[in-house]
């Protein structure tokens, strides 16, 4: 019996020693792994730190650009909101709809006239036609919200055209828009001496929005490749032309792609005219209608809101 106990104890001691040896080997292995890790890290420390710093700088630049864009968008929305009477009592949708309809009917009877010339849609692709239909919808939406709406004309607008089909398809209630739609040319509708054709290629800047004039917008989109289409059409007809006073009140914003464009969508031009009519201030009007992506900023803000030309936009 004693011999059996002695053997068991010897076996246990041997097993314990083997376990201790295994644990020691494992600790040695882990110690070697831990000691080797800093060596690998040291080799890559320089390249890793450079990558981290570069990513950090890029992130900070993108953050600053986003902040700048949010600031400009906030300013535009603030300018658009300030023309609304905050003290006006809350009205029901039915009453608001009736008031809007009354204003638009009054504009059709005696309002300032604005015409979208759709004679050049043959120059547009199917994609551009769809974009133009969307711009007409936004233009009409802005006119509905205006305290002083314009009398809107769509000329040379043919019912069998793709544009007509797109307007009906994309714009709910298009057939009930309170505007004048005709297949006739604006040249035959209005006296030539009353017409001012708005085109970015004109040499003279528009100074005022006069109540007795008819303002013509070319029904083109900013993707159109052909240049000076509306300018050449107005010149051939001997019509007075004018451009928005962008050069007089704005400067180019530095950007890495050096992109600057004065070509605006018809709804953007219309928003500028609406705002100027209400405020008589071109700076407010241009900010309200020209998106930051066009690459321009107010000259008065250039000294306080300059963006690093190496920043990503």
- Prediction pTM value: 0.68
Is pLDDT at 268 greater than 60 in this prediction? yes
Residue 105 lies in a domain: yes
The CATH number linked to 279 is: 3.40.1280.30
Residue 1 lies in a domain: no
Query: For residue 88, what are the domain limits?
Result: 82-301
The structure tokens listed for 56 are: 């950090």
Residue 7 lies in a domain: no
β-sheet bridge partners, residue 215 = 114, 196
Give residue-wise pLDDT tens across range 97-128.
889 999 999 999 999 999 999 998 988 899 99
Give residue-wise pLDDT tens across range 231-251.
888 999 999 999 999 999 999
**Count of CA atoms in the C-beta half-sphere (13 A) of 227:** 5
Could you write out the DSSP letters of every residue in 117-129? E-TTGGGS-HHHH
Residue 251 lies in a domain: yes
Burial class (CB in 10 A: 0-12, 13-18, 19+), 264: buried
Residue 42 lies in a domain: no
Average pLDDT over residues 161-176: 93
CA distance 104 to 112: 11
Give residue-wise pLDDT tens across range 36-53.
445 445 555 566 677 778
Residue 197 lies in a domain: yes
Q: How far is CA 161 from CA 167, 209, 276, in A?
A: 10, 32, 33
User: Residue 255: helix, strand or coil by DSSP?
Assistant: coil
Residue 23 lies in a domain: no
Residue 43 lies in a domain: no
Is pLDDT at 302 greater than 80 in this prediction? no
**What's the domain count of the chain?**
1
Q: At what angle do helices 162-170 and 126-145 cross, to 10 degrees?
A: 50
Is pLDDT at 80 greater than 70 in this prediction? no
């Amino acid at each position: 019996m004693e011999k059996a106990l002695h053997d068991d104890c010897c076996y246990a001691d041997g097993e314990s020693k083997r376990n201790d040896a295994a644990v020691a080997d494992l600790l040695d292995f882990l110690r070697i792994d831990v000691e080797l890790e800093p060596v690998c890290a040291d080799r890559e420390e320089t390249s890793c730190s450079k990558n981290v710093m570069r990513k950090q700088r890029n992130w900070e630049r993108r953050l600053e650009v986003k902040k700048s864009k949010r600031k400009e968008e906030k300013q535009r929305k603030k300018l658009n909101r300030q023309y609304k009477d905050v003290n006006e009592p809350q009205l029901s949708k039915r009453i608001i709809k009736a008031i809007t309809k009354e204003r638009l009917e009054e504009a059709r009877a005696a309002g300032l006239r604005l015409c979208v010339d759709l004679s050049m849609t043959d120059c547009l692709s199917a994609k551009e036609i769809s974009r133009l239909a969307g711009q007409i919808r936004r233009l009409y939406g802005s006119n509905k919200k205006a305290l002083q709406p314009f009398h809107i004309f769509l000329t040379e607008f043919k019912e069998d055209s793709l544009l007509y089909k797109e307007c009906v398809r994309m714009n709910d209630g298009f057939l009930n828009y309170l505007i004048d739609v005709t297949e006739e040319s604006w040249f035959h509708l209005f006296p030539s001496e009353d017409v001012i054709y708005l085109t970015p290629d004109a040499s003279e800047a528009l100074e005022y929005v006069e109540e007795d004039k008819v303002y013509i917008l070319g029904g083109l989109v900013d993707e159109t490749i052909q240049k000076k289409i509306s300018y050449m059409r107005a010149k051939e007809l001997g019509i007075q032309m004018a451009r928005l006073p962008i050069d007089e009140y704005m400067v180019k914003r530095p950007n890495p792609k050096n992109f600057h464009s004065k070509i605006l969508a018809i709804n953007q031009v219309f928003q500028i005219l609406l705002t100027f009519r209400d405020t008589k201030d071109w700076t407010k009007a241009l900010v309200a209608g020209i998106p930051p992506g066009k690459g321009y900023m107010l000259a008065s803000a250039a000294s306080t809101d300059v963006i690093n030309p190496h920043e990503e936009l």
